Structure 1
Amino acid sequence: MGKAIKFIHCADLHLDSPFKGLKNLPEEWLTDIRKSTFKALDRLIEQAIDLEVDFVIMVGDLFDQEQQSMQAHMALRDAFQRLQSYNIHAFVSFGNHDFLSSQTFPRNYPDNVHVFDSENVAEIPFYKNDQLMAKVYGFSYQHRAVLTNKVEEYQKTNDDCFHIATLHGSLGNENTNEHAIYAPFQLSDLKQSGFDYWALGHIHKREILAEDPMVVYPGNIQGRSTKETGAKGCYIVTMADNQTNLEFIPLSPIEFRKMKLNASDWTDITNITEEIAERLQLQQPQEKILTQLTFEQVPEHGEHWFTQGFIDEMIDYLNQTSHQNYVINYKWNKAAKRSQWMQGGRFLEELNDALQETEIDQINQPLWQHIDGRKWLSNLDKEDKQDIEDEAAFLLDQLLHEKEV
């Protein structure tokens, strides 16, 4: 073929994300958080310009909400105009958050922007110096959900160029509740399709599902909670003949992280405070970090630190002394006594078995079916369910040992 192209693959910008659950942060942090998706977009455009890419591929959920704000609309339009001034093209599809029928403003984007404007898979050519270099394939969601496998609609042409498929969807056998299963696909179908690159979106975890051809989730460009930890960004993709190279570029101005602390041998809360401060400092943030702490195996003599508010005071102190790292919340579990009652007679054995067999989804089903309740609920992932089970066991453990207190 003797051709080469370089492009950015990104997805799930979620401009104007409300960052639910973080409204109690100090105003300075809250302001930075609300600006973070827009700042990540600015960094994306700066990378595209500095690296002189041929085009940018954005695979769905550019906006976070059905009713887009003027700020989000104009920020994206301004970004496209900056790309146009450097003759950089953009290929855009919309997903389940910003589906076509929901959009608030007309898409008066500049000519360098190519939108997949239908739920039918289409192809858009990319020319460089009047030579056909690539064809980009994709579709947008017309409504909130696409429940069918769309892969059969992707039909590669016989043109001598790179063939790049974009797909905002979920691996069909994915065992997760973090994201709804939209536009499900099987990895084997993508690998056998004949395309040179599959640019995926929808799943916020960065992952390379296959390398021949490349099947890639870039993740989102800015984490939105402690479920989306670590650096977030995009991939720079270089394709030449039969070789494809990826380079991850971090973009997120704020990172979410989790830190686990083993409290089993703690005796002095002052020393604990110093230890945690050192651990937080060792994270060496290049950006601002929001951290969730988990205190594990808290000894019996240390339980009053939590029940009487000493840990809350410690967290306040840590947050006042750091400008780059903020502890947003914490969890704790005490050293279990369950081994003392799990084998304590038939009733207790059956109680323990019931804990192991509890189906959280089945218990919560009436809430999700309630016309008002479901507006305020989000899907529980595996970690959420485990937290609920652990808390239930913890409360049960407390009740069974009340006489010991």
Structure 2
Amino acid sequence: MVPFRFIHTADLHLDSLFTGMKGLSDSIRHHLRESTFGGLTQLVEVAITEQVDFIVVSGDVFDAADRSLRAQLSLQAAFDQLGNQGIHIYLIHGNHDPLDGLRLHSKHGDHVHVFGPEVEHFIAKRRSDQQEVAVVSGISYPTSKVTENTALRFIRDKESSLFHIAIHHANLDGDPEHETYSPCTRHELSALGYDYWALGHIHQRAIIQESPHIVYPGNIQGRSIKEIGAKGCYVVEVKDDSSLNMTFHELDRVRWFREEIAIDGIESEDAWRIKVEERIELIRTLRPQHMSIVRFTITGRGQIHRALEHGYLADELEEELRRKETTRAEHKQFGGLVWIEGFSLQSGIEINYDVLMQEDSFLGEMLRLVDEAVQVDSAEDILHKALTPLMGNREIRRILNDSTEQERLDWLHRAGELGAVLLLDKASDGGSKS
């Protein structure tokens, strides 16, 4: 087999709005809006530096069907730059940017190959000598909702000895965190005979399987607290023995973090503030050239919990930290900027739950029921019933949509904990009055 190199990328979501962020100054909001374009610029640089032969793009290049003019022109400019280097692009459209979406009808160069609503096949060549190295197959979404298993339309040419790549935008094995568009299974993909499945749609990068390779590169830029960690693309080197060497390259200009801070042993508000600020400075050193966004999860048990529970302590610190970062942004110091997305309180007061759960009392029975609820499948049902009356509130719906399963279980646990605290406080008040 003739060795070659290609980039696998997906889910660029150019010109994403970063909705749901609070307290942002105009300069920071503008910087966030620019980050997806920065990821595209970095993608082009990696392609040229790594001397790849071509790029496969697995859908959702744009963030919306009515893609912005700027997003389209930026993509066109990036493709022109790649074309000048002899790098070809093989691109499909996904559920965010289907073929029936509004778009600028500009003609791409001959080096750009956009797949239609039926599976098409192109022959990819190596840049250096124009030798044929791969068959690239793909299919675009005609509309935003494709619920059929379109993977079954892929048919490999069994007579060809070239490396076969399938570009597909799909929900593999029913990932519950994403809509089930073009659902398929790894068993189905493996049986179709392709060497590499270049998937898009899931924003968390993962090499699902090897032999054949089934790969999600993730998106190039995280856009919410659900999308933490490094974002980028894979450079795939196919060797002459058909083996693969895969290297992940970071492209993101803004990175999301979840950081846990335990309050165990913290006895003063000052000590807690210092601990938070130290963690911020650590994040700043990790990303000195780029912006970071962090959500702090407060865990553990300690005396400081009551001040955090009342809200003022976290709110005041959050406001002060954001003020400092806003000042940095006003001076265009986005490198090393650390924005506080918020605090998630999962700490508690110092209570000996092991003793209380053994008590033959109303409180003991309540804590045992809470502990049982968070351990079984009925937890989601309990939460659904409890929160249904509140779903008319847009902000509550947004918080629920942005939450993870673990966070929702933590809410249930904290509801039981709050009940215990209120009962203990009531008992303490009654005791002091008698």
Superposition TM-score, scaled by structure 1 size? 0.89
Q: One-letter code of the match for 1:154? A: F
Give how far 1:86 is off. Answer: 1.1
Percent identity over the alignment is 31
* 1:343-371 deviation per Cα after TM superposition (whole angstroms, max 9, x unaligned): 5249737863785434167538968999x
After TM superposition, the structure 1 stretch with the greater mean CA deviation from structure 2, 351-360 or 108-117, is 351-360
Partner of 2:312: 309
Structure 2 SS opposite 1:249? strand
Paired with 2:86 and 2:248, the residues of 1 have a C-alpha distance of 23
Q: Residues 271, 368 of structure 1: CA spacing in aligned structure 2 closer, same or farther, 3 A cutoff?
A: closer
Q: Residues 335, 99 of structure 1: CA spacing in aligned structure 2 closer, same or farther, 3 A cutoff?
A: same
Partner of 1:274: 274
Note if contact 1:8-1:53 (Cα within 8 Å) is conserved in structure 2: yes
Q: Residues 364, 150 of structure 1: CA spacing in aligned structure 2 closer, same or farther, 3 A cutoff?
A: farther
Paired with 1:13 and 1:62, the residues of 2 have a C-alpha distance of 5
Partner of 1:348: 366
Structure 2 SS opposite 1:164? strand
Give how far 1:165 is off. Answer: 0.8
Paired with 1:272 and 1:134, the residues of 2 have a C-alpha distance of 57
Q: One-letter code of the match for 1:134? A: A
Give how far 1:316 is off. Answer: 3.3
Paired with 1:221 and 1:383, the residues of 2 have a C-alpha distance of 25
Q: Residues 334, 152 of structure 1: CA spacing in aligned structure 2 closer, same or farther, 3 A cutoff?
A: closer
Note if contact 1:172-1:181 (Cα within 8 Å) is conserved in structure 2: no
Paired with 1:314 and 1:353, the residues of 2 have a C-alpha distance of 32
Partner of 1:147: 147
Paired with 1:52 and 1:125, the residues of 2 have a C-alpha distance of 19
Paired with 2:382 and 2:145, the residues of 1 have a C-alpha distance of 25
Note if contact 1:8-1:55 (Cα within 8 Å) is conserved in structure 2: yes
Structure 1 SS opposite 2:346? strand
Q: Residues 360, 28 of structure 1: CA spacing in aligned structure 2 closer, same or farther, 3 A cutoff?
A: farther
Q: Residues 125, 363 of structure 1: CA spacing in aligned structure 2 closer, same or farther, 3 A cutoff?
A: farther
Give how far 1:308 is off. Answer: 5.3
Give how far 1:172 is off. Answer: 2.0
Give how far 1:270 is off. Answer: 1.8
Partner of 2:216: 217
* 1:54-107 deviation per Cα after TM superposition (whole angstroms, max 9, x unaligned): 111110111111211111111111111111111111011011111111233325
Partner of 1:31: 30
Paired with 1:272 and 1:203, the residues of 2 have a C-alpha distance of 37
Partner of 1:327: 340
Q: One-letter code of the match for 2:48? A: I
Q: One-letter code of the match for 1:363? A: K
Partner of 2:409: 386
Give how far 1:162 is off. Answer: 1.3
Note if contact 2:93-2:140 (Cα within 8 Å) is conserved in structure 1: yes
RMSD: 2.9
* 1:244-299 deviation per Cα after TM superposition (whole angstroms, max 9, x unaligned): 11000000001000110110211122222222222222232332111100111242
Give how far 1:194 is off. Answer: 2.1
Superposition TM-score, scaled by structure 2 size? 0.83
Give how far 1:397 is off. Answer: 3.9
Paired with 2:37 and 2:49, the residues of 1 have a C-alpha distance of 18
After TM superposition, the structure 1 stretch with the greater mean CA deviation from structure 2, 219-228 or 360-369, is 360-369
Structure 2 SS opposite 1:334? coil
Note if contact 2:346-2:410 (Cα within 8 Å) is conserved in structure 1: no
Q: Residues 393, 122 of structure 1: CA spacing in aligned structure 2 closer, same or farther, 3 A cutoff?
A: farther
Q: Residues 23, 318 of structure 1: CA spacing in aligned structure 2 closer, same or farther, 3 A cutoff?
A: closer
Give how far 1:160 is off. Answer: 2.6
Give how far 1:381 is off. Answer: 3.9
Partner of 1:297: 300
Give how far 1:382 is off. Answer: 1.7
Note if contact 2:174-2:180 (Cα within 8 Å) is conserved in structure 1: no
Partner of 1:363: 385
Partner of 2:173: 172
Which of the two has greater helix per residue?
2
Q: One-letter code of the match for 1:161? A: L
Give how far 1:170 is off. Answer: 1.4
Q: One-letter code of the match for 1:299? A: G
Partner of 2:100: 101
After TM superposition, the structure 1 stretch with the greater mean CA deviation from structure 2, 134-143 or 329-338, is 329-338
Q: Residues 264, 182 of structure 1: CA spacing in aligned structure 2 closer, same or farther, 3 A cutoff?
A: same
1:41-52 equivalences in 2 (<5 Å): 41-52=40-51
Partner of 2:432: none
* 1:153-211 deviation per Cα after TM superposition (whole angstroms, max 9, x unaligned): 2111122311101111112243x3x2112212211222333212111111111111112
Q: Residues 27, 306 of structure 1: CA spacing in aligned structure 2 closer, same or farther, 3 A cutoff?
A: farther
Note if contact 2:371-2:413 (Cα within 8 Å) is conserved in structure 1: no
Unaligned runs of at least 5 residues, structure 1: none
Q: Residues 274, 381 of structure 1: CA spacing in aligned structure 2 closer, same or farther, 3 A cutoff?
A: closer
Q: One-letter code of the match for 1:131? A: Q
